[in-house]
Structure 1
Amino acid sequence: MASAHTGHRPDRPPPQWTIDIWANVNTSGAFNMPHVHGGSYWSCVYYVRAGEGEGGQLVLHDPRMPALRMHAPGLRFRDSGPDVRTEIEPKSGLMVLFPAWLLHSVEPWFGEGNRISVAMNIRAALARR
């Protein structure tokens, strides 16, 4: 998935990926504050078990804010999608890949049992010539 969404110089081989991976087992009320994954190129989450309940959306925060709103509070870019934040509803079997520098968070989830996800930091090992 990372390779399919990464371009590289034609005179260089494509990157070899190194992946750090960990499991998250969340009980009702769990959330994650806004953060980035420094030192990685991509971040990824795979929902093993989304569980029944309310909330728990993965939120991708628009890096243009608040500077863009401060400069031109009444304007929006036409056809550029939502601004400020995009919410992704977790579903079992869903995998989300996003740039590791993108500020993201998880809304509080309230449900029965455990929500299980696998998170990944994907780093590029670039060949030198």
Structure 2
Amino acid sequence: MHMTCESKMPAVLFEFGFMDNLREARLMLNVDFQKECAKEVAFAVCEYNKLPYIPVAKPIQPLAPKPKKEESVQILTGGLSPEMVKEVTQFFKAKEWYAKINFTIDGVNPRALTGGMKSKAKAEFESWLKERKWFYEIVK
């Protein structure tokens, strides 16, 4: 109160409640109440200065972040015998997965390279390869 009486400029003291009143003390902790008080103070300042009150626009809700796209990988296996080429080809046909078998000119060391595989397919193929103890590597 001393500041408003002794000041050489216009001054206002706003009281929104009293701490010794339990109901008012709790009310002052309420965010909606705080926002309403702030709005009323802004309105009063505008009115005193003969300015139009322009309400604050509701904040735009940020877009939810896009879920991270699951990264796909390719699996390369090499050193395949003719029987292994046949077995891996049948496996991919049964799964309807894409793979490319590359043969060298001399026919030695054919390799199978899968198409992009998501985690479930990758885990299944890795398990299949490990059961057979075949060499493979993950290619990103």
- Range of TM-score over shorter length: under 0.3
Q: Whose strand proportion is higher, 1 or 2?
A: 1
Q: Whose helix proportion is higher, 1 or 2?
A: 2
Pick the structure with greater CA Rg: 2
> What TM-score do the two structures reach when normalised by structure 2?
0.25
Greater relative contact order structure (CA < 8 Å, 6+ sep) = 1
> What TM-score do the two structures reach when normalised by structure 1?
0.27
